[in-house]
Structure 1
Amino acid sequence: MIATLQCTVIDCPDPAALARFYAEILGWRVDESDPDWVTLTAAGGQRFAFQRAVDHRPPRWPDPEFPQQFHLDFDVPTRDDVERAREHVLALGASFLHDSGGRRSGFLVFADPAGHPFCLCYGQLA
């Protein structure tokens, strides 16, 4: 090993707004001291950073002309839990994109307010 992961950085047009969106999902702390570089930190030290990208072109999942660039998977225990999570992320400003349709395990695909895809996964916990 020559390095450790410092944080994952997500380009977006409004770093503070997108950080607050993910803070509501994860319960992590937001640091908005620099409006162009906002960090989200977990109690255990994991971090996401959100960087202002003036010319950000949001992905259009699953259109290959506008690739997703990255996506985040969030585990929830059951289909019932994912339904509650669906309502919460929609209320926060997410857009629904796709339901894998599984009854015991699967995923729901959303776009965050800046257009990045993310999934709520259920029944796949180890």
Structure 2
Amino acid sequence: MIGRLHHTIFDARDPRACAEFWSALLGEPVTYDDGEFVVVSRDSETSGLAFQLAPDHVAPTWPDAAVPQQIHLDVMTDDPAVAGMEAIGLGARHLRDDVYADPAGHPFCLIRRPAWAPPLA
């Protein structure tokens, strides 16, 4: 092993808004924020999602490949339909089926929790 995953980093025009969205969606706190780089993780010593300032970021146009999706996350949930409504309430945009976009346009999927995964708290 050469290393271990630290943060998954998204470019965003407004890193704080993206972090607040993902913080609310995943129930994890914002643990670092210098205005240009914002981290969402369980605590300040745990890897998580990070959002860095990219003033010229262009939102993905998925499913149209004109601007690729760049990255996407699968978020497990007990009920994707209910979770989808809650995500929209947080600022997500519904794209189709169980696919949504965060406030910066990054696509993510709400998937039913696999049987092997422990119940969501």
The residue that corresponds to 1:63 in the other structure is: 64
Normalising by structure 1, what TM-score?
0.84
**Partner AA of 1:12 in structure 2:** A
Partner of 1:5: 5
Gaps spanning 5+ residues in structure 1: where?
Answer: 100-107
Alignment partner, residue 102 of structure 1: none
**What is the distance in 2 between the residues matched to 1:115 and 1:69?**
10
Contact 2:29 2:41 in 1 (8 A): yes
Match of 1:120 in 2: 110
Cα drift, residue 33 of structure 1: 3.2
Aligned to 2:53: 52
Consecutive aligned runs of 4 or more in structure 1 exceeding 6 Å deviation:
none
Displacement of 1:70: 0.8
* Equivalent residue number for residue 91 of structure 1: 89
TM-score (norm 2): 0.88
Any idea what SS the aligned residue of 1:49 has? strand
The number of residue pairs the alignment matches comes to: 115
SS of residue paired to 1:56: coil
Mapped partners of 1:32, 1:7: distance in 2? 12
Structure 2 residue runs without a partner (length 5+): 117-121
Corresponding residue of 2:14: 14
Task: Give me the CA root mean square deviation.
Answer: 1.5
Identity %: 43
Once the two structures are superposed, what CA deviation does each residue of 1:35-76 show, in whole Å capped at 9, x if it has no partner? 000011115823111001010011011111110011010011
CA contact (8 A) 2:77 2:111 kept: yes
- Classify 1:6/1:62 alpha carbon distance in 2 versus 1 (closer, same or farther; 3 Å): same
Q: Counterparts of 1:56 and 1:84 in 2: how far apart (Å)?
A: 30
Shift of 1:98: 1.0
